[in-house]
Amino acid sequence: MTRFIFIFSILLVCFLTIVSLDGYSESKSGSKVFTKIESFAGNDTIVLEDNFEAGTLQEWKQTSDWEVSSADKISGTFSLKHSAKATAGNSSVFRQSKVEMKTLDLEWKFSLKNGNWDPSSSNRFWFYLSADTIQTDQINGFAVGVNISGSSDLLELWRIRNGKADSLIVSSDLDWNASTLADVDVKRTAKGIWTFQYQRTGEEKSKLFSGTDRTTFRFTNVGLLFNFTTTRAGQLWLDDLLVTKHPAQLFVEELTLIDSHIIRLTFNNQVAASSIRTSNFSLTDETKLPIEITKAGITSADNRSVEVTFGKVTGSELSLKVSGIADLSGKAMQPDLLSFSYVLLPEKGSVLINEVLFNPFPGGSDFVELVNVSDIPVALNQLKLATRSDLGELKQIYPVSITQQVLQAGEYATCTKEPTAVMAQYPSNNVASFVSMNSFPSYPDDAGTVVLLNNLQEVIDEFTYSEKMQSPFLADEEGVSLERISVEKPTGDPTNWASAAESAGFATPGLPNSQAPTEAEAKSEIICEPQAFSPNGDGYNDDLTIHFNLDKPGYIANVRIFDAVGRPIIHLVKNQSLAQDGSWTWDGKSQSGQKQSIGVYVLLVELFDSEGHPRVFKKTCTLTDRLD
């Protein structure tokens, strides 16, 4: 019997102890009992928890305008309350809380209540989810609240930079009014996905609101700010604050295009090498054309980087689908679709200086034409034009473009400060090639240096020019560009440059150079069409067209026309510099503008190259149908 009483006594003590503990948690002055939150990964950890039931603000800073009070509390016995003794202005209160935003998923829960007043630009409040300082005019971080920007009573989530509302991330449908009490639940993944919900007293939980902002700041504090007038002092409450962290799910933190056939993916956590296969990746261009994945594997000692090798690409905007990659615990990432431009930082020789106008016509503008000689697109915002000082130092370094403009393989870019002026003076142009630069280097009329750089200030190409490089047959060098003859020969070779042909208008912005060799036959040809023409104004064969197709560009031409007995009729072309192919026309009139009689006429075409070697062609044509 004694033994039975002893055992029963032990059981009774245990039972009463359990009941007592349960009763304490429920009857602690009616305080709200925290329950396990809905976590991201099922293993959340509390970073900060305060329901103010301790009755003090011992761990809070800047508390002069704040108190722990039971007056109109939100829940339990006490809530954080603004002091009615505070004067108009800003009151803030902070508590230290340090978390790494880049590697963790985070969640904030808290309750907010205002008094019987409507928020406005003079009476507003917000909770700092994260702040890198407690100096409110210097804070970088994130905040959720009302009228953060001073223009909306909706409950909103903002990025804060230098103490000011910098970017709206999420806006809800809660128009905060007088005497509103709401529980707020905000989540952020390490990937920068923000979501939040609210629940007002007696109502269902709101729908989920979401937005994206991958910015991270140093997270050292959470806090509350109240901007108020005198009559609103003491009428703001905060309670049931809970901040938790969660291990972030595996995701691609950064995609880097290493070269024309390799992508590097950097993950937020270590990757299991055994989970990586080429089948984990699917690459397509903007037309949905699939691109072969040939190899994939870990390339870094920390097991966070994976390199993916792929085949030939024809597009410029690519999409990479990644799935099935697992972390070291074996948990697979969520499938992800990453879009990126197929452009690389330009390397030496990938883009060349192709044409330069440094002595424009009056009212005109200098231009530099570039050509992409690589097999991949080039982003023009990764290029800069510059010149050099007398000491050879780079100066006047200006970006070619500030937009996401892409120069495809084989395409030209005509860089100038005044595209309209250039187009007006050179009708033979490609309008789509023009790139308007906000600032343009100064290239002197007599001599100078054009330097092409990438964003790392590496020299991609360089051309030192002189007016002496222009054709000696030019009567006036003004308005005549220097054109590159071959992209295969060095830019610095003076013999690889020539004056743009007069037959092409003295410049060819955005078009193949008039002095560039083409795939024309080695044999030069002069062809007259039609063989018999009738300049009578009936619209049929009114002009004689003289086509030329030469073995090389750069010839100087003279074209004379004689009648059948050898009398000169007209000097049609005088010392004209030529492209490799082109044409002239004769309207059947003499030098003085007189209409000529029916008969046979002889065309004498004289050509000579830059070394003075002559070539002569004789052609005949027939003028029919006497002119009135």
**What is the predicted pLDDT for the residue at 579?**
83
pLDDT confidence bin for 518, thresholds 50/70/90: low
**What is the predicted pLDDT for the residue at 473?**
79
**What is the predicted pLDDT for the residue at 519?**
52
Q: What does the alpha-carbon distance between residue 616 and residue 120 come to, in Å, rounded to a whole number? A: 89
CB 600 within 8 A of CB 622: yes
**What is the predicted pLDDT for the residue at 36?**
32
CB 309 within 8 A of CB 294: yes
Average pLDDT, the chain: 89
Q: What confidence tens digit (pLDDT) does each residue in 544-563 have?
A: 999 998 888 888 899 999 98
**What is the predicted pLDDT for the residue at 566?**
79
Q: What does the alpha-carbon distance between residue 508 and residue 121 come to, in Å, rounded to a whole number? A: 59
CB 455 within 8 A of CB 345: yes
**What is the predicted pLDDT for the residue at 320?**
97
Q: What does the alpha-carbon distance between residue 463 and residue 449 come to, in Å, rounded to a whole number? A: 6
Decide if 45-247 and 525-623 have a common fold.
no
Residue 135 bridge partners (DSSP)? none
**What is the predicted pLDDT for the residue at 26?**
32
**What is the predicted pLDDT for the residue at 414?**
97
Question: Closest by alpha carbon to 438, among 454, 419, 425, 453?
Answer: 419
Residue 624 to residues 430, 531, 534, 542, 567: CA-CA distances in angstroms? 39, 10, 5, 10, 19
Average pLDDT over residues 528-548: 91
Quick one: CA dihedral 526, 530, 536, 538, positive or negative? Answer: negative
Q: What does the alpha-carbon distance between residue 46 and residue 55 come to, in Å, rounded to a whole number? A: 21
How many residues belong to the chain? Answer: 628
The reply to whether CATH 2.60.40.1260 applies to domain 351-504 is yes
Residue in the block written with tokens 């830059």: 610
Average pLDDT over residues 156-165: 97
CATH topology of domain 252-341: Immunoglobulin-like (2.60.40)
pLDDT confidence bin for 625, thresholds 50/70/90: confident
Domain regions of the chain by residue span: 45-247, 252-341, 351-504, 525-623
Q: Is the peptide bond before 530 cis (omega within 30 degrees of 0)?
A: yes
Has residue 627 got a pLDDT over 60?
no
Q: What does the alpha-carbon distance between residue 218 and residue 96 come to, in Å, rounded to a whole number? A: 12
CATH topology of domain 45-247: Jelly Rolls (2.60.120)
151 vs 90, higher pLDDT: 90
Residue 168 bridge partners (DSSP)? 158
Has residue 262 got a pLDDT over 90?
yes
Q: What does the alpha-carbon distance between residue 126 and residue 239 come to, in Å, rounded to a whole number? A: 14
pLDDT confidence bin for 42, thresholds 50/70/90: low
> What is the widest separation between alpha-carbon atoms in the chain?
154
Tell me which amino acid residue 319 is.
S
Q: What confidence tens digit (pLDDT) does each residue in 425-444 have?
A: 998 899 999 999 999 999 99
Has residue 225 got a pLDDT over 50?
yes
pLDDT confidence bin for 575, thresholds 50/70/90: confident
Q: What confidence tens digit (pLDDT) does each residue in 370-394 have?
A: 999 998 889 899 999 999 999 999 9
Q: What confidence tens digit (pLDDT) does each residue in 47-59 have?
A: 999 999 999 999 9
Q: What confidence tens digit (pLDDT) does each residue in 174-198 have?
A: 999 999 999 999 999 999 999 999 9
Q: What confidence tens digit (pLDDT) does each residue in 488-508 have?
A: 999 999 989 999 988 888 999
Q: Which bin fits 510, alpha (ψ -120 to 50), beta or left (φ > 0)?
A: left
The matching CATH number, chosen from 1.20.910.10, 2.60.40.4070, 3.10.20.30, 3.60.21.10, for 525-623 is 2.60.40.4070
Who's near 431: CB < 8 A, 6+ residues apart? 423, 510
Lowest mean pLDDT among 357-371, 410-424, 569-583: 569-583
pLDDT confidence bin for 609, thresholds 50/70/90: confident
**What is the predicted pLDDT for the residue at 298?**
93
Query: In what order do the strands lie in the sheet containing 336-341?
Result: 290-291, 281-284, 317-322, 336-341
Has residue 263 got a pLDDT over 70?
yes
Average pLDDT over residues 12-40: 35
Average pLDDT over residues 526-542: 90
The pairing of beta strand 447-454 with beta strand 568-577: unpaired
Has residue 334 got a pLDDT over 70?
yes
In eight-state DSSP terms, residue 557 is E
Residue in the block written with tokens 């050292």: 220
Q: What confidence tens digit (pLDDT) does each residue in 576-590 have?
A: 888 888 899 999 999
